[in-house]
């Protein structure tokens, strides 16, 4: 599938993303203004660019940790079975936690991660997702903050890959296969 020729149509420019990240960070800063230290949890690998930009706009004391879920190969369809490949390094009991996700699609990944983290009794647990595809939802789960709602396109860039490529694009684009 990675061999099939495709083009990438820009959907969200680097400038558009930066402005939205700044606005999200302002809302998140306000929400957690009373925290002594926010634990920002990035879902690897797709959120690594987003989390890097987001934490630099937060005006809060933060700790950064990561969790990695399974993705099952290079298919453009997400798996309904979610496995944890790499767990958090730190404890979150009694802490304020913000999960940072690249895309909420069917919702299985976010629902699984929130369930797992909730069982560890954080004080507060919220999620910020850069992208949301509400038309694809199979599980009733929502991020507290969403950067952009997008239609059912397969997207790449700004940390998000197609067959492990295109993560380094500064913008977000939709993959379109040549006929």
> Which x/- pattern over 55-84 shows residues binding ligand 5GP (rule: CB under 6 A)?
-----------------------x------
Judged by CB under 5 A, does residue 102 bind Mg ion?
Answer: yes
Q: Which of 17, 39, 60, 155 binds ligand 5GP (CB under 6 A)?
A: 155
CA angle 141, 167, 87 (to 5 degrees): 50
In this structure, the strands spanning 124-132 and 155-156 are unpaired
Q: Between 60 and 125, name the residue whose CB sits nearer to Mg ion.
A: 125
- CA nearest to 54, candidates 43, 40, 66, 68: 40
37 with 63: CB under 8 angstroms? Answer: yes
Judged by CB under 5 A, does residue 71 bind Mg ion?
Answer: yes
Q: Between 35 and 166, name the residue whose CB sits nearer to Mg ion.
A: 166
Q: Is 161 a catalytic residue?
A: no
Q: Give me 85's structure tokens.
A: 């490949």
Q: Between 60 and 99, name the residue whose CB sits nearer to Mg ion.
A: 99
Residue corresponding to tokens 């067959």: 163
Judged by CB under 6 A, does residue 169 bind ligand 5GP?
Answer: no
175 with 156: CB under 8 angstroms? Answer: yes
Which residue numbers are catalytic?
A: 105
Residues that bind ligand 5GP (CB under 6 A): 46, 78, 101-110, 154-156, 160-162
């Amino acid at each position: 599938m990675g061999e099939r020729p495709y083009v990438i149509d820009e959907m969200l420019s680097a400038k558009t993303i930066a402005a939205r990240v700044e606005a999200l960070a302002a809302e998140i800063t306000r929400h957690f203004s009373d925290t002594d230290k926010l634990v920002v949890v990035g879902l690897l690998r797709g959120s690594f660019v987003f989390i890097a930009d987001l934490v630099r706009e937060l005006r809060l004391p933060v700790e950064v940790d990561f969790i990695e879920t399974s993705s099952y190969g290079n298919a453009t369809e997400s798996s309904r079975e979610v496995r944890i490949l790499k767990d958090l390094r730190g404890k979150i009991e009694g802490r304020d936690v913000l999960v940072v996700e690249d895309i909420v699609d069917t919702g299985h990944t976010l629902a699984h991660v929130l369930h797992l983290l909730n069982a560890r009794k954080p004080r507060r647990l919220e999620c910020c997702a850069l992208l949301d595809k509400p038309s694809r939802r199979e599980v009733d789960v929502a991020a507290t903050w969403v950067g952009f709602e997008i239609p059912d396109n397969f997207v790449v860039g700004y940390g998000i890959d197609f067959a492990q490529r295109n993560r380094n694009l500064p913008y977000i684009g939709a993959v379109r296969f040549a006929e």
